[in-house]
Amino acid sequence: MTTRRKKIYEGKAKILYEGPEPGTLIQYFKDDATAFNAQKKAVLEGKGVINNRISEFVMLKLGAVGIPTHFIKRMNLREQLIKEVEIIPLEVICRNIVAGGLATRLGLEEGTPLPRSIIEFCLKDDKLNDPMVTEEHITAFNWASTQEIDDIMAMTLRINDFLCGMFSAVGITLVDFKIEYGRVYDGEFARVILADEISPDSCRLWDSTTNEKLDKDRFRRDMGEIIESYTEVARRLGIMKEMPTVIRGGLH
């Protein structure tokens, strides 16, 4: 980076910088990959570029169907301009098919379709390993109000419906995903909007025909061809057509 900007926050896969105007931030996508609460780490060259594009694409599509999001515009290969929000400290997980944590926790077979989509809440706290919490904890500790939980659940189900259709149209099954929400203030009045990112780092995406994994489980489970799979997701969504050599060339 040539310009000096104030770093607001650095997470495992992204950095937030001060934005050009009040109420805005710049979200920078790193190539760093972590799993199991950062016990496993790697640098996957080009990942940040792909996730920036996929998240832009998904946020724009969701915005177009009326989901309020933090996304304003993509600035370059690795950065997007976003609205500054007060992050609600919850990881909101939506599941359609048994996988990962749910399979382990309840002893269910991975790949089993769920009778209906299930939403889970986890507290965003790496030190505690993001423990699952209930609405009771969320309201008792004031992480979100009952109204905000209702809004978050309704929005998450709409996002799930839309994304299931969007991915299914390109031969991908949306198994589960994690999203985060934030508050924006209009005077005293707070509104909840979708924040963070939606990418193969935060979703389980399986090829609809072969069930091949096209997401971060390839990293978690040492399956290889991670960047190739993320690129395949982007290709199927019809994005990044203009720069097919970026990924292996490792453009920064």
Q: Does 91 bind ligand C5P (CB under 6 A)?
A: yes
- The answer for residues whose C-beta is within 8 angstroms of residue 115's C-beta and 6 or more apart is none
Q: Does 227 bind ligand C5P (CB under 6 A)?
A: no
Q: Does 178 bind ligand C5P (CB under 6 A)?
A: yes
Q: Least distance to ligand C5P from the beta carbon of 58, Å?
A: 14
Tokens 């096209």: give the residue.
214
H/E stretch holding 156 reads helix 146-168
Cα separation of 86 and 182, whole Å? 5
Q: Does 196 bind ligand C5P (CB under 6 A)?
A: no
Looking at residues 126 to 145 of the shown chain, list those that interact with ligand C5P (rule: CB under 6 A).
130
Tell me which stretch binds ligand C5P (CB under 6 A): 3-11, 47-55, 163-171, 198-206.
198-206
Q: For residues 234 and 50, is the Cβ–Cβ distance under 8 A?
A: yes
DSSP string, 207-231: ETTT--B-STHHHHTT---HHHHHH
# chain residues binding ligand C5P, by CB under 6 A: 14
Q: Does 96 bind ligand C5P (CB under 6 A)?
A: no
Please list the alpha-helical segments (H only) found in 65-141: 100-106, 135-140
Q: Least distance to ligand C5P from the beta carbon of 211, Å?
A: 15
Q: Least distance to ligand C5P from the beta carbon of 148, Å?
A: 20
Q: Does 100 bind ligand C5P (CB under 6 A)?
A: yes
Of the pair 24, 143, the CB lying nearest ligand C5P is at 143
Residue 167 burial (C-beta neighbours within 10 Å; 0-12, 13-18, 19+): buried
Cα separation of 62 and 68, whole Å? 8
Tell me which stretch binds ligand C5P (CB under 6 A): 15-23, 99-107, 225-233, 235-243.
99-107
Of the pair 122, 193, the CB lying nearest ligand C5P is at 122
Q: For residues 220 and 36, is the Cβ–Cβ distance under 8 A?
A: yes
Q: Does 216 bind ligand C5P (CB under 6 A)?
A: yes
Q: For residues 149 and 135, is the Cβ–Cβ distance under 8 A?
A: yes
Query: Residues 61, 101, 139, 164: which binds ligand C5P (CB under 6 A)?
Result: 101
Q: For residues 205 and 175, is the Cβ–Cβ distance under 8 A?
A: yes
Q: Does 218 bind ligand C5P (CB under 6 A)?
A: no
Q: Does 199 bind ligand C5P (CB under 6 A)?
A: no
Which residues here bind ligand C5P, judged by CB under 6 A?
Answer: 91, 93, 99-102, 130, 176-178, 202-204, 216
